[in-house]
């Protein structure tokens, strides 16, 4: 495991100390967990954006997409436990 030094403003360090005490963990464990959560969130966002770009490219390449009202109705039906057909992709140009 490597060692990293962080220079924190005094008020942020105190907040980390207080939060760690509330959670019953060391300040070090609290900061490691916070960095892990931030890294995971950044990776998740990057994957979401990459998926969105890929979906947009596929839509442009195939000229097909899904009607948002149909997608929302499908999701709502699934949430309430109803069986429903998936929306069909259709041409969105002209």
| CA dist., res. 76 & res. 68, Å (int) | 12
Residue 84, SS3 per DSSP: coil
Question: How do the pLDDT tens digits run along the chain, 94 residues long?
Answer: 899 999 999 999 999 999 999 999 999 999 999 999 999 999 999 999 999 999 999 999 999 999 999 999 999 999 999 999 999 999 988 6
CB atoms within 10 A of CB 30: 19
> pTM surpassing 0.75?
no
């Amino acid at each position: 495991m490597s060692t990293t030094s962080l220079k924190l403003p005094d008020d942020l360090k105190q907040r980390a100390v207080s939060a760690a005490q509330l959670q019953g963990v060391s300040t070090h464990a609290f900061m490691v967990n916070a960095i892990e959560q931030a890294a995971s969130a950044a990776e998740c966002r990057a994957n979401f954006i990459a998926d969105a770009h890929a979906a947009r490219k596929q839509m442009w390449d195939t000229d097909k997409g899904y009607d948002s009202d149909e997608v929302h109705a499908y999701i709502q039906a699934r949430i309430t436990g109803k069986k429903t057909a998936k929306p069909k992709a259709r041409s969105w140009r002209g």
